[in-house]
Amino acid sequence: MSSVPERSEVDEEYTWDLESIYATDDDWEAAYESVAERIDDLESYEGRVVEDAETLHSVLDLRDEIMREVSTVSAYARMRRDEDTTNQQYQALTARAQSLAADASAAASFIDPEIQGLTREEFDEMVEEKPDLETYDHYVDDVLRMKPHTRSAEIEELLADLGEVTGATGEVYNMLSNADMSFPSVEDADGELVEITQSNFTNLLKRPDRDLRRRVYESYFDEWESMRNTVAAAYKNSVKADVKTARARNYDTAREAALDGPNVPVEVYDTLVDTVHDNLENLHRHAELKREALEVDDLRMWDLYMPLTGDEGPDLEYDQATEYVVDSLEPLGEEYQTRVAEGLESRWVDVYENDGKQSGAYSGGTYDTQPFILMNYQDDVSSMYTLAHELGHSMHSELTKEEQPYVYSGYEIFVAEVASTVNEALLTNHLLETVDDPELKKHVLNEFLERVRSTLYRQTLFAEFEHRTHELEEAGEPLTADRLDELYRGLKAEYYEPAVVDDRIAREWMRIPHFYRAFYVYQYSTGISAALAVVDHILEEGESAAADYRTFLRQGSREYPLELLRTAGVDMSSSEPIDRALSTYGDRLEELAELLE
């Protein structure tokens, strides 16, 4: 019998307060019907968006009102579904909300192309006539910025229609990897069969039984080998689609097209890869420490996920974890710290696993609601860090919506992971300074190091791989399974030089779904680099740096990502933040090495 409780058995204080959005499902229905009717109001503006200042302001204002309501309707349905993914009622509500969001986006799709008919000077004249339009200054700047890469109406319509086709390889991959592929079971030391899944593969590689880890590793990648040509064909065509779409939009390369969306120069990407690639010695040191801790002659690929502290960590109940997290946020100021504490008391967090609950964790909510955090808290150090991480996202959204209008309430992925990782780094610093328990300190350091390793180094390796694959396609060279294996194995050997790189790890590229969203993963690496630089500034300079950071959080998407980060004292156009992050990783690594002696 499963020990996971039913939803009804979880104490209310450990569940999120979705009734604060809609008291009943009937209230959701009323909101759904209301906004569905308003979507049609946008049609009356088609063809005349920029006919005068008043009309432009009216259509933008109406669009934002509709999108705000749609986002709230969608968020409620999705979170209700995530409480119990087997609940058919909320599956249906979520599907309806997704269709509503698609209808709203389609209804508003004419607005940006019509704005591109303006010049900057004409928009400035409209602002003089209608000062309320000043709110949309940055938004219009971004729309006009993309004009050289916007094609005629006919071609844009064709590209939109082809979007489902060009994105099909990712869908095929997801169906193959999540629905059709199945992995064998292996026998553990007690003779019990352990089923390998996509979800538990990494956790199984943390088991202390080294022979079990080897058999899990080999069985898992042997199954991928049986799909090797299919996955290679899918990825090859995904890269082709990236390249051809970029060319259709007048970009020289697919990477340039991907980075131009958030207005990030390609030099930022190159600086990241070059800086990390030229400073692999600390990663090599980490690998060597793992070999020593495991007392083995050769570190193998199935050993890389083993924590330096062993698999058993101290228990950390949720209430203790929240105390640690709140206390760690003191450097961000009393108001920030108090807001987090009050949020935890106000049912922001859906804490524990229940039967049917969505796995993992996320920060949700909308412009018009309080934050909501889904957790599956497990009374361990990793769960505590996940809580700190998601609270960072929630506070970013909270401070943004207090300061910014709806149009700037979101933020690009390039900056999205900064707030979450700032909280993690502050938690590490706080616990190392205040906790006496050496075992807890070891596990805190190990958790921090593994998060940096898997985010800064691993994602940069991925970024280097996908840049090279796109370069090969753009040069007209074939992307075969053998070529992809060769490329990936070479990178793995460079990044993990002290370890034995075998043939199976050359296939690891096959299991990375993010590769079907090209030039996305590098932002995890830049995000953690920026965050660790922010924390250094705050700990060195105190309140002045904390105030700059809070200003950054309040800006949302009011500026482009690099400008936003400069507000927080970080220049991601240089290697300095990356160098700082690598140095911090090295320092923490030596701290743990000393504790382990």
**In this structure, what token pair is assigned to residue 12?**
């209310």
Q: Are 473 and 259 in contact (CB under 8 A)?
A: no
Q: Which residues are catalytic?
A: 390
For the chain, what's the residue count? Answer: 597
Helix (H, G, I), strand (E, B) or coil at 185: strand
Backbone angles phi, psi at 279, to 5 degrees: -135, 60
Contacts from 507-510 at CB under 8 Å and sequence distance 24+? 507/221, 507/224, 507/225, 507/228, 508/221, 509/235, 509/465, 509/484, 509/485, 510/224, 510/227, 510/228, 510/231, 510/232, 510/235
Dist CA 290 CA 307 (whole Å): 8
Dist CA 362 CA 217 (whole Å): 28
Q: Which residues contact 596 (CB under 8 A, 6 or more apart)?
A: 289, 293, 308, 309, 442
Dist CA 413 CA 77 (whole Å): 24
Q: Which pairing describes strands 372-374 and 193-195: parallel, antiparallel, or unpaired?
A: unpaired
Output the CA–CA distances (angstroms, integers) from residue 547 to 330, 334, 534, 538, 565, in the order listed.
13, 11, 11, 9, 13
Q: Which pairing describes strands 372-374 and 362-364: parallel, antiparallel, or unpaired?
A: antiparallel
Q: Which pairing describes strands 299-300 and 185-187: parallel, antiparallel, or unpaired?
A: unpaired
Give the position of tokens 């296939």.
507
